[in-house]
Structure 1
Amino acid sequence: ATGGPFAVSQPTHLNVRAGPGTEYPILSVLTAGTQVKITGIGPNEDWFQVEVEGVSEPAWIYRDLTELVGSLVGVKKFTESEIPPRPEAAPPAAAPAPSAPSTRLPGIGFGYGVQAHMIHNGQEGIAMDKTRELGFGWVKQQIEWKVFESNQGQYGFGDIWPLVNAANSRGLNLLFSVVNAPNWSRESGYDGTVGGPPADPQTFARFLGRLAGEYCGSSVKAIEVWNEQNLHYEWGNRPINPSEYMALLRPSYGAIKAACPSMYVISGALTPAGDNGSLAMDDFRYFEAMLQQGLANYVDGFGAHPSGYNVPPNAVWQSACEAIQQTGNQHFNGACDNPHHSWSFRSTMEGYRNLALRYGAGNIPIWPTEFGWAAGGAFDPRYGYANDNDFDEQARWTVEAFQMMRNWGWVGPAFLGNLNFRVVADGTEKAQWGIVRNDWSPLPIFHALRNMAK
């Protein structure tokens, strides 16, 4: 072809829209490798106007999901007044927020899920079978970006397909929680001892767009954008900053929706914490800052990690000290030594809900993408509460927590952490939350969850 420049579609399916934004209707779909001529650039330079065979009206595709062939010099850049009128957006949130497309999906409703590790270990089949035996419908898998794009532009998605196919064949839904930028994308002088975000948020958005496009229409129904970004070692030992996270989320949301409008986008769940210098930011304060910066416009669900520690699920933080003196605090006394909402599963969840309501976002469900109670003995002395919780308490409290979330009416799919870390990482701190032994034989919690009324 002559007379470029051209854009070459990268995902398996790329939506062609009537305007430069995901709020515009879909006109057609391009398959991977399709080359189209670029005739214009959107007001924010993130969409291309293109010529598409069989589409008579002006057509637009998302720039970050294409490969540019040729130069954009001389290509018309449209102003806001020159593009098609944007479809009417949903009413704005009560708090000040940047404008954003109204593409939020309807709430899925409550669901039963479990976290598992099934990458590069061949355990996807048995993990999915155990999930079905529980009567659950969702599985969460963490995806490390650095593993699947270790070299820029080279994607190793073939290693993810076995677990996607295993879920497909069993009628299960998958949540992918995506973390850890590859070395090539991180800032100069980054701390390589911990995972962290990229220097340029667009590089992450591009990866998530490719990921969403690869698995659109499969068992992968939701993507969580990062994990516990209010904790120093999850944010590259960089200054903890809600504004930086929002700068990562906004283009990520756009790229995911451009590649797969049906994909649910979940904000990175915060770790329950108080302010602790450069190490952690109070999760309520962080969540409120995100809401103030328009969080509700860029997600279909709010991620959450309500912790259990050694506090029963129904105890609010104000009564947590009294509760653990009855259930056991010989090895961990946090709720008494430093009273705070973060010790309480219930107070954490209800606190997020109250903040969402305050900022006019009560229609967005909270997705607990990890919760649970460690039990049966601590593998790491920093987790002394695992010595206070026995396996029977773990079983009772987890069932109660699922029932509470189901009855609240504002919770989306909830993911217990975790299914198989006693199998894949026995003796590590994550294994303290496992619900089967290292030979896959069930612990009491497994029996309790399988028999729980759903």
Structure 2
Amino acid sequence: MRILTRLGQICQSLYREGERGRGGEGENFLPLSHSPTLPRVFQTIFRVLQAAALAALLYALAAPPPILVTLGSQQVVRTTNPKVGVHTRVTDEVEEWKIKKNFEMVREMGATWVVEYFPWEYIENDEGNFDWAHADLVVDHARRQGLTVIARLGFVPRWARPKDSVTSYLDEARYPAFAHFAAEFARHFAGRVQHIIIWNEPNLNFEWGYRGVDPAGYARMLQAVYARVKKVDPSVQILGGALAPTLAPPGTPDALNDLDYLQQMYDAGARDYFDALAIHAYGWNAPADEAPSPRRVNFRRTELLREIMIKNGDASKRALITEGGWNDHPRWTKAVHPAERITYTLRAYDLCQTWDWIDACALWAFRYPFPAQSYLDYFTFLTPEFDPKPIYWEVQKYAAR
């Protein structure tokens, strides 16, 4: 409306300037639409602007009022397997009703755990200034649906990294800044979020700022964060690892084998600086039951990570699967048939129920706010429009059996 009004003012001004140029006084003008001396083009423009302004006014009057969203009453998840979970991605969901609906449908499916991403840059875009508004919406709506939130932290803001570097680049000199953010996160969400994952897949080059991966450097990151968070809230569980399952051989520039990386974390002293191990358990083409092997990426590779924990004196430490699952893209080489995906997923939830050292099995990914337009869309349980896929209904039946 303001733009249209301004255009009308410009037309009026042009007309008056034209009159002055012909010796007019600029006073006692007829309305523009009736002026006999106004160039025809300005008359046409003015009529169009009048019509557009009227249309805009009518549209504004007819537009529905904003949707009022409330948390609603406290809900409880009804499930026969309390380890069932999903990795949600409402990080970039801007409409509150969609955030609420997302978690409602997680609960209705029978999942009790959600992993959600809380980017450092989104919350502390300027050093020392924290904006918790969106994060509060996410956590509060999830909790009101009876869900337990596992928070993943990462995504370095511009002020904390070199110019032209990527958001996964965090120099060791900035570990204290990240630790401070993690501590403020724990303080703000005290009693609401009890599980925090530190970083994501640090055994991949692109998740480590496109530098050589560094298990010892990651161990020092854990140490810096652990001390600050525990000082704020000793009850918060710090989750380390979150390693990408990969068979990358030694010396590969892009990645380090997850089994080797975990052992090198222990060698660097990481044991004292995480309370539980976050595990990424992708099955790719293999059934959930396929036996674990150092030469295979499959769901039960999880057991090999557990063996490394035991070997390093961490038998009493818990583990949580915070990513994993299967993809049913029709052409991707690592995908399976949709029916196989359902079978393997339900079997994976069953396996986790038998593993007494696993607390949660949050598979990737419940729903994206918008299509990825790639094979990634075939990991989801819902479409962006909240249409359930067959796997959603099958997990719901599984959890209600």
* TM bucket, shorter chain: 0.7 to 0.9
Q: Distance in 2 between matches of 1:179 and 1:268?
A: 13
Amino acid at match of 1:418: A
Answer with 112-121 or 157-166: which moved more: 112-121
Residue among 411, 434, 452 paired with 2:380 = 434
In the other structure, the counterpart of 1:350 is 303
Q: Distance in 1 between matches of 2:186 and 2:371?
A: 29
**After superposition, where does 1:256-267 map in structure 2 within 5 Å?**
256-267=229-240
Residue among 76, 83, 92 paired with 1:111 = 83
Deviation digits for residues 44-75 of structure 1, max 9, x if unmatched?
xxxxxxxxxxxxxxxxxxxxxxxxxxxxxxxx
Q: How much does 1:384 deviate?
A: 2.3
Answer with 124-133 or 293-302: which moved more: 293-302
Deviation digits for residues 393-439 of structure 1, max 9, x if unmatched?
11110000111111021112111101112x52342343220012343
Q: Distance in 1 between matches of 2:84 and 2:181?
A: 28
Residue 340 (str. 1) matches residue 295 (str. 2): yes
Residue 407 (str. 1) matches residue 357 (str. 2): no
In the other structure, the counterpart of 1:161 is 136
Q: Distance in 1 between matches of 2:163 and 2:91?
A: 30
In the other structure, the counterpart of 1:240 is 213
In the other structure, the counterpart of 1:143 is 118
Q: Distance in 1 between matches of 2:133 and 2:117?
A: 16
Q: Secondary structure at the match of 1:371?
A: strand
Q: Distance in 2 between matches of 1:195 and 1:428?
A: 22
Deviation digits for residues 225-284 of structure 1, max 9, x if unmatched?
000000011000111110110111111111222222222111130001123521000110
Aligned length: 314
Q: Distance in 2 between matches of 1:296 and 1:450?
A: 37
- Name structure 1 gaps, 5 residues minimum: 1-108, 319-338
Give the TM-score taking structure 1 as reference length. 0.66
In the other structure, the counterpart of 2:42 is none
Q: Secondary structure at the match of 2:169?
A: coil
**After superposition, where does 1:165-176 map in structure 2 within 5 Å?**
165-176=140-151
Amino acid at match of 2:230: K
Q: Secondary structure at the match of 2:339?
A: helix
Q: Secondary structure at the match of 2:361?
A: strand
Deviation digits for residues 70-92 of structure 1, max 9, x if unmatched?
xxxxxxxxxxxxxxxxxxxxxxx
Specify whether residues 154 and 198 from structure 1 end up closer, same or farther in structure 2 by C-alpha distance, changes over 3 A only: farther
Q: Secondary structure at the match of 1:209?
A: helix
Q: Distance in 2 between matches of 1:139 and 1:178?
A: 14
Residue 269 (str. 1) matches residue 216 (str. 2): no
Specify whether residues 190 and 244 from structure 1 end up closer, same or farther in structure 2 by C-alpha distance, changes over 3 A only: farther
In the other structure, the counterpart of 2:392 is 446
**After superposition, where does 1:222-237 map in structure 2 within 5 Å?**
222-237=195-210
Amino acid at match of 1:207: F
Q: Distance in 1 between matches of 2:396 and 2:353?
A: 16
Tell whether the 8 Å contact from 1:180 to 1:197 is kept in structure 2 after alignment.
no
Q: Distance in 1 between matches of 2:261 and 2:284?
A: 21
- Name structure 2 gaps, 5 residues minimum: 1-80
The structure with the largest helix share of the pair is: 2
Amino acid at match of 2:342: A
Q: Secondary structure at the match of 1:420?
A: coil
Give the TM-score taking structure 2 as reference length. 0.74
Alignment identity in percent?
24
Tell whether the 8 Å contact from 1:301 to 1:412 is kept in structure 2 after alignment.
no
In the other structure, the counterpart of 1:20 is none
Q: Distance in 2 between matches of 1:178 and 1:256?
A: 13
Q: Distance in 1 between matches of 2:385 and 2:279?
A: 30
Q: Distance in 2 between matches of 1:399 and 1:167?
A: 23
- The structure with the larger Rg is 2
In the other structure, the counterpart of 2:22 is none
